[in-house]
C-alpha cells in the first residue's frame, strides 16, 4: 500500500475539507447503529412492558435521526467527491508536467496512445480508488467499529465468539487482493494498447483508406478488444469469488451466534430483545466486512493504475538542468563540437568522434545518405539528447552547464514535417513568441512569404486551420512554420530537410523565405537536395556517424569523394 499512501498525500492541501467529510461519514454511519437499539427497546420495553412513553420516544427519534442522516450523507458525498476530483486534477497535472519535461528518447520508445492512456485511463482509475472507495471504506469501517462496540456492551462472550472468524476473513481478503491487483495491472496495460491502436489507426486514416485496409484495422482492434475482455473477466472472476467466500465465513459466525445466543436466552443470561439487537449488530458487522472486501478488491484493481502513474512520475529526467546551472547569456552563435559520440541505443553508435567549429553567422550544411547521423547532430545542439562522449560549446559555454530553457530560447528549428496546432493562423505563428503583437506576427508572415495566402483565407489570420494544419498545403504549412521561427528571432537556426517534402514550385517560395531567415544567423542545414546547400560556408559529408569530408561546394567536387558522387547521382553528370 506504499503507493496508495503516496496517493493519499495529494489530499494534504484539502485536509480541512477531509476532516469535515469524515465527521459527516461517521455521523451518517451512526444512524445505522441506532436501529438495532430501537429493535431492542421495542421488544423489551414496548412489547413486553407495554411502555407507551418509550413508543413515542422511538417514533420521534426515528424521524429526527433519519433527517440528520440525510444532511450528513449529502455533506459526505459532496466533500469527498470534491476532494477526489481535485486530487485527480492535481495528479493529471503532475503527470502532464512530467511528460513535458521528459526527453525525446522517452517518446522514441513509447507510442503516443500509450502516453495518452496514462493521462486518461490510468488517472480515471484513481478516482475509484479515492472517491467511491474512500467513502465506502470510512462508512463501513465506522459501522464495523460501532457494531463491535455495541456487541461487546450487550454480551462480551458472544462478541468473542464473533471475533474468532475475523482473522480468517482478513486472510481470504489478502490472498484474493494480491491476485486482483495482478489482473488489474493487465487490464490497464490492455487499455493502453487499445488507446495506442486507436491513436495510430485514426491518425493514419488516409493511409488506411488508400490501401483499403479498413477490415484489417477492424481485425486488429477486435483482437485487442478481446484481450481486454479476457483480462477484465479474469478480474471479475476473482472479485466474484471474494465476496461469496467472505459471506460464507460471515454466515458461519452468525450461525454460531444464533445457537449460543439462543442458549443464553433459555438460561436467562440475556433478554430476547438484547439477542435480537446483538444479531442485528452481527449482521451489521457482516455487511461491512462483505462490502469492505469488495472495496479492497476495487482498490487493488485501481492500485495497478496508481503504480503505473507513479512509475512514470518517478522516471529519471535524463536531460535536465544541472544543479547551479546558469542561464545562457545572449549569444553570437559560435558553435564548437568537440569529439562527440552518441547512440540512441547502448552499443549502437549514431555518431562517432565528430568535431567541427562554426563561426557566428555562417551557414553549415550536413549531407549524406539516410541514417548517416545528420539529424542526430542537429538534435544534440538544442539538447534534445545529451552526448555520450565529448562536448558541445556555444560561445564557449558547455550546453550542459546552462539551463535547457535559456539554451532553446536562442535556437530556432524548422523541421521537415511541420507540426501546427488546431488553432488560428495567428496563434500558430505567435507560438514562436507568446508576447508578440499582431503587427509583429504579420511582419513575420510577410518575411516568410506567407502574408498573401493568409489574407486570402476566409478569416485571414484568424482562420482555424484544423488538426495539424491539414486544411493547408505542405508549402503553406512550412511557411507558417518559418514565420514562427522568424518571430522567435533565434541566433542559431536548424533547418532539418525543410523543403524535401515540397513540390518544385513550393520549394522555391519556401527556400526564398528560408534565405531571408538565415541572414545574420548561424545556420545548420540538413539536406538531401544538394541544390539547397551550394552557398553554404562549409558542407560536412556524414556517413556511418562520422565526418568523411568537408569544404565548400567547389572544393568537395574537386575532391571527387562521397559528396561528388552524391552530386553526380542527383544531377546526372558523368
Higher pLDDT, 352 or 138: 352
DSSP run (H or E) holding 351:
strand 351-358
Residue where the block lists cell 490472498: 175
Considering the chain, what percentage of its residues have pLDDT values greater than 70?
91
Top-ranked range on mean pLDDT: pick from 1-5, 104-108, 115-119, 439-443: 439-443
Inform me whether the pLDDT recorded for 574 exceeds 50: no
Edge-to-edge strand order for the sheet containing 492-496?
Answer: 411-414, 492-496, 522-526, 363-367, 538-543, 546-551
pLDDT value, residue 37: 74
Share of the chain above pLDDT 90, in %: 11
Enclosing H/E stretch for 366: strand 363-367
Q: 167: number of CA atoms within 13 Å, CB side?
A: 3
Find which of 131-140, 399-408, 462-471 is predicted with most confidence, using mean pLDDT: 399-408
Of residues 298 and 26, which shows the higher confidence score?
26
Cell numbers describing residue 44:
423489551
Per-residue pLDDT tens over the stretch 232-288: 888 888 877 877 877 777 777 777 777 777 777 777 777 777 777 777 777 766 667
Nearest CA to 242 out of 159, 160, 308, 181 is that of 181
CA separation for the pair 482, 195 (Å, rounded): 33
Residue 197's CB: how many other CB atoms inside 10 A? Answer: 18
Question: For the ranges 23-32, 172-181, 336-345, which has the lowest average pLDDT?
Answer: 172-181
**Secondary structure class of 538 (helix, strand, coil):** strand
Residue 115, SS3 per DSSP: helix
Element at 62 (helix H, strand E): helix 52-101
Please report the domains of the chain, with CATH numbers, ordered by start residue: 2-183+239-313 (1.20.1560.10), 418-489 (3.40.50.300)
pLDDT at 573 over 60: no
Q: In angstroms, rounded to a whole number, what is the distance separating the alpha carbons of residues 194 and 508?
A: 43
**How far is it, in rounded angstroms, from Cα 340 to Cα 356?**
10
CA-CA distance, 527 to 368, in Å (whole number)?
8
**24-60: pLDDT as tens digits:** 888 887 777 777 777 777 777 776 777 788 778 878 8
Quickly state the pLDDT bin for 130 (edges 50, 70, 90).
low
Instruction: Residue 445: name the closest of 436, 535, 108 by CA.
Output: 436
Task: Kindly state the average pLDDT of the residues 173-198.
Answer: 78
Separation CA 116–CA 195 (nearest Å): 7
Cell of 541: 559529408
Q: What are 387-431's pLDDT values in tens digits?
A: 999 999 999 999 999 999 899 899 988 887 777 888 889 998 998
Question: Whole-angstrom Cα distance, residue 445 to residue 425?
Answer: 10
**How would residue 375 be classed by pLDDT, with cut points 50, 70 and 90?**
confident
Amino acid at each position: 500500500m506504499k503507493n496508495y499512501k503516496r496517493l493519499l498525500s495529494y489530499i494534504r492541501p484539502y485536509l480541512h475539507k477531509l476532516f469535515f467529510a469524515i465527521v459527516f461519514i461517521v455521523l451518517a454511519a451512526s444512524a445505522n447503529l441506532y436501529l438495532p437499539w430501537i429493535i431492542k427497546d421495542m421488544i423489551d420495553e414496548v412489547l413486553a412492558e407495554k411502555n407507551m412513553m418509550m413508543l413515542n420516544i422511538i417514533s420521534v427519534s426515528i424521524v429526527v435521526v433519519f433527517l440528520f442522516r440525510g444532511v450528513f450523507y449529502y455533506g459526505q458525498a459532496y466533500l469527498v467527491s470534491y476532494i477526489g476530483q481535485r486530487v485527480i486534477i492535481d495528479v493529471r497535472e503532475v503527470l502532464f508536467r512530467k511528460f513535458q519535461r521528459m526527453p525525446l528518447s522517452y517518446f522514441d520508445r513509447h507510442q503516443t496512445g500509450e502516453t495518452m492512456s496514462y493521462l486518461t485511463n490510468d488517472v480515471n482509475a484513481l478516482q475509484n480508488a479515492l472517491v467511491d472507495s474512500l467513502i465506502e471504506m470510512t462508512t463501513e469501517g465506522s459501522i464495523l467499529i460501532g457494531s463491535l462496540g455495541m456487541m461487546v456492551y450487550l454480551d462480551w462472550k458472544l462478541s468473542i465468539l464473533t471475533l474468532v472468524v475475523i482473522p480468517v476473513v482478513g486472510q481470504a481478503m489478502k490472498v484474493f487482493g494480491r491476485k486482483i491487483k495482478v489482473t488489474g495491472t493487465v487490464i490497464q496495460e490492455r487499455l493502453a494498447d487499445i488507446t495506442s491502436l486507436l491513436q495510430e489507426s485514426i491518425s493514419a486514416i488516409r493511409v488506411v483508406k488508400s490501401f483499403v485496409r479498413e477490415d484489417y484495422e477492424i481485425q486488429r482492434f477486435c483482437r485487442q478488444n478481446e484481450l481486454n475482455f479476457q483480462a477484465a473477466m479474469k478480474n471479475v472472476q476473482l472479485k466474484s469469488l471474494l465476496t461469496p467466500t467472505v459471506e460464507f465465513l460471515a454466515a458461519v459466525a452468525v450461525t454460531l451466534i444464533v445457537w449460543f445466543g439462543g442458549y443464553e436466552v433459555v438460561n436467562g443470561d440475556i433478554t430476547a430483545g438484547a439477542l435480537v439487537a446483538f444479531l442485528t449488530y452481527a449482521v451489521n458487522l457482516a455487511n461491512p466486512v462483505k462490502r469492505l472486501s469488495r472495496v479492497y478488491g476495487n482498490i487493488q484493481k485501481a492500485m495497478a493504475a496508481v503504480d503505473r502513474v507513479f512509475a512514470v512520475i518517478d522516471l529519471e529526467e535524463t536531460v535536465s538542468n544541472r544543479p547551479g546551472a546558469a542561464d545562457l547569456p545572449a549569444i553570437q552563435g559560435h558553435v564548437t563540437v568537440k569529439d562527440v559520440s552518441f547512440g540512441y541505443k547502448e552499443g549502437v553508435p549514431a555518431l562517432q568522434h565528430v568535431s567541427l567549429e562554426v563561426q557566428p553567422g555562417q551557414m553549415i550544411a550536413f549531407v549524406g545518405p539516410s541514417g548517416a547521423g545528420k539529424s542526430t547532430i542537429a538534435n544534440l545542439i538544442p539538447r534534445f539528447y545529451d552526448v555520450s562522449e565529448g562536448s558541445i560549446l556555444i560561445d564557449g559555454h558547455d550546453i550542459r552547464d546552462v539551463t535547457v530553457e535559456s539554451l532553446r530560447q536562442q535556437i530556432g528549428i524548422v523541421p521537415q514535417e511541420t507540426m501546427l496546432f488546431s488553432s488560428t493562423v495567428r496563434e500558430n505563428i505567435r507560438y514562436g513568441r507568446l508576447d508578440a503583437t499582431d503587427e509583429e506576427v504579420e511582419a513575420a508572415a510577410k518575411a516568410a512569404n506567407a502574408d498573401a495566402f493568409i489574407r486570402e483565407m476566409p478569416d485571414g489570420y484568424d482562420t482555424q486551420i484544423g488538426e495539424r494544419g491539414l486544411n493547408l498545403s505542405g508549402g503553406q504549412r512550412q511557411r507558417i512554420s518559418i514565420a514562427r521561427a522568424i518571430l522567435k528571432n533565434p541566433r542559431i537556426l536548424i533547418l532539418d530537410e525543410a523543403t524535401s517534402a515540397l513540390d518544385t514550385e513550393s520549394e522555391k517560395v519556401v527556400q526564398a523565405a528560408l534565405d531571408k531567415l538565415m541572414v545574420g544567423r548561424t545556420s545548420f542545414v540538413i539536406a538531401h537536395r544538394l541544390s539547397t546547400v551550394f552557398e553554404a560556408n562549409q558542407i560536412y559529408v556524414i556517413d556511418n556517424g562520422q565526418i568523411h569530408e568537408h569544404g565548400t561546394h567547389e572544393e568537395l567536387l574537386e575532391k571527387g569523394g562521397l559528396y561528388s558522387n552524391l552530386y553526380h547521382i542527383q544531377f546526372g553528370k558523368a
